[in-house]
Structure 1
């Protein structure tokens, strides 16, 4: 019994020494590492300023997100512009080769769309004064952008009263592969519509017109 009591007293003395040692460490600022970590977490919880590394990382993440959003917006704009291009007739500054300035150059032909309304004969004279002729369709493949035209314009096509056939200004006969004629008004001249269709029109009716120069 005495041996058990001596061991118990010895255990109590060791516990008191450990407690006093911890108190001394806290008093002199040498608390164990886990106590320091606990104090740091408590301080952060109560509003201490975050570390510079944390702030820099947050800024980098925000800038990365901003960059991704800008790339997506630019991509959407580019895709939209590619799929919503207007016909080449809207390119007023297009110039290449021997075409007159501000004329449209497309596959070795020069074109100009005139917004003034004139009769067929007046339109023909206007084109001739600019060393050109009214529009002629040579090939649907080489002049494919004309399928996008939506309004009516005089072209260099006129009907021969003797046999009712259609011919171009240069005297060549209209071929079915060039253009499809649609009877509209009683007349011997033709306006160009869209999708390679020509419409009969009275030659004296005012219309806008297209002049062209063939390079080759």
Structure 2
């Protein structure tokens, strides 16, 4: 019993000394906690100030960039207007004070002829009607569709070789003997050929006539003129 009592007394004494040591250590370390806490708060405060400064700088740069872009667009618009006016004067002999909006100046690509508001180009080699139309498509154009007598007169006057046939944008379908144009536009019945045959296509020489679409002829392309 005495041994047990002695063991119990030693245990409580040892436990009490350990508790006192922990408390002493806790009291000794307690003043350090507020110091690190204050340091953390200051670091966070400084970092927030830096972030606010970065946001302000970015906002200023964005506003300046927007202003510069507006000025650049205004200068670009003015430069384009000046360039267009110069083209009018050089290519179309337009007066300097004439507005480009009201300009009736039209131009065509190199080697194309201008008539009214259309451009015309004639080939030198020979192809079938379908292949001729495909070639015109590569030039952003189509086989010429003649609308009236005046246009037909212009085309005949500018044919390089009046002894050959030129493909034009007329064709008759397999299902019916009726002329149609590659543009779907209305045709003047006074200039259409009377010899309509199925699977035939339009050609022009001294007048408009029909020929087999599988024959090979030179051709004339047509496109809209560029308005300046």
Superposition TM-score, scaled by structure 1 size = 0.49
1 or 2, which has the higher helix percentage?
Answer: 2
Greater length-normalized contact order (CA 8 Å, ≥ 6 residues apart): 2
Superposition TM-score, scaled by structure 2 size = 0.46
